[in-house]
Amino acid sequence: MSEPRPLLQHLQTLLPADAWPAGAKELAAAARPRLLATGQALLEAGQPWQHLHWIERGVLRLCLIDAQGRASNKNFHLDGTLLWPITPRLRQEPVGFWIEALRPSRVWSLPWTPWQTVCADWPDWQTLERHTLAALLDDKMRREQQFLQLSAAQRYQAMLQEHPDWPQRIALRHLASWLGVTDVALSRIRRRLA
């Protein structure tokens, strides 16, 4: 009986299994799991991003730390999310953010450079990259519009519609940071809307 290869299995759901370039399946099958405890970093500020990651289970946050040492949550990534350094700058320069576990997580990691080399001319991978980049841009533009045009309560309601599982899996203080309010203000909003 062969050893399970969860990252390979996940990628095969996203990319046609019969059209993989030589070596890609072997690379994906060689990915290794990493168990992260709550608060443990997957990527620290000051490091270049050198891996493709797939969250088999868990909750991660991408956050920035300001000059006073306060964290500001930029995004959350839950089960099934595939993350990689999608821009050249992320791969070549130290990043200015952290990716850390908010709950115990199991993350599969694959070195980016060999994967990129094998998949550089693969049309299916290029299509996935374009869709991912478009989704990131759409999300960023939507969040910017919400911050400019919606009240904190309206942003909270939009979050509930877009991410109904977040309140059960992400602590109130982290949601508040993502919404741009204090946890006290978010508690008041939640009581008012209840």
pLDDT of residue 68: 85
Domain span at 76 = 6-122
Nearest to 62 by CA among 80, 48, 41: 41
Q: CA-to-CA distance for 157 and 166, rounded, in angstroms?
A: 12
pLDDT of residue 3: 57
* Structural domain includes residue 93: yes
148 residue type, one letter: L
pLDDT of residue 66: 83
* Structural domain includes residue 62: yes
Low-confidence ranges of the chain (pLDDT < 50): 1-2
pLDDT of residue 122: 94
* Structural domain includes residue 83: yes
* Structural domain includes residue 167: no
* Structural domain includes residue 132: no
CATH number at residue 47: 2.60.120.10
9 residue type, one letter: Q
Nearest to 182 by CA among 57, 69, 15, 70: 70
* Structural domain includes residue 92: yes
Q: CA-to-CA distance for 76 and 173, rounded, in angstroms?
A: 13
* Structural domain includes residue 114: yes
* Structural domain includes residue 134: no
Q: CA-to-CA distance for 60 and 52, rounded, in angstroms?
A: 14
pLDDT of residue 1: 38
pLDDT of residue 70: 84
**Domain total for the chain?**
1
pLDDT of residue 71: 86
- 6-60: pLDDT as tens digits: 999 999 999 987 789 999 999 999 999 999 999 999 999 999 999 999 999 999 9
Q: The whole model's pTM is what?
A: 0.91
